[in-house]
């Protein structure tokens, strides 16, 4: 759950679906339109990826609609890069931790 620091209201969420072998995780973020543009997704996604890496997850990926510039910016900020692979109309982004 992502909460707005000013009033504690729920602003959105981040999620990770971790593979059984803990090697990879699919990540996603959603921020309510009222709170978009304040860096909440960027901060929450970075914290989540740090948490995953601390637990041994080495590969992270996300699927982002090609026209969703804000989500692409969040993905870039946390080190994901577009792969060129399109699945169900969304571009796959990946990051590998070494």
What was the pLDDT predicted at 98? 63
What was the pLDDT predicted at 8? 82
As a whole-number percent, the residues of the chain with pLDDT over 90 amount to 87
In terms of DSSP H, where are the helices of the chain?
Answer: 40-54, 69-77
Of 14, 24, 7, 20, the C-alpha closest to 74 is: 14
CATH (domain of 65): 3.40.630.30
In this predicted structure, the answer to whether residue 4 has a pLDDT above a threshold of 90 is: no
What was the pLDDT predicted at 95? 94
Q: What are phi and psi of 87, to 5 degrees?
A: -130, 120
Q: What is the pTM of this model?
A: 0.90
Which domain does 52 fall in, by range? 2-96
Q: What are phi and psi of 44, to 5 degrees?
A: -65, -40
Cα 36 to chain center, whole Å? 14
Q: How many domains does the chain have?
A: 1
What does the CA dihedral 39, 43, 45, 46 come to, rounded to 10 degrees?
Answer: 140
For residue range 50-89, what is the model confidence (pLDDT) as tens digits? 999 999 999 999 999 999 999 999 999 999 999 999 999 9
């Amino acid at each position: 759950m992502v909460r707005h620091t000013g009033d504690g209201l729920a602003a959105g969420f981040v999620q990770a679906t971790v593979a059984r072998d803990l090697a990879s995780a699919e990540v996603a973020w959603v921020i309510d339109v009222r709170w978009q543009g304040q860096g909440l997704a960027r901060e929450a996604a970075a914290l989540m990826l740090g948490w995953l890496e601390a637990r041994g997850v080495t590969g992270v990926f996300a699927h982002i609609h090609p026209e969703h510039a804000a989500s692409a910016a969040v993905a870039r900020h946390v080190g994901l890069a577009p792969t060129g692979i399109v699945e169900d109309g969304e571009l796959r982004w990946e990051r590998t931790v070494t």
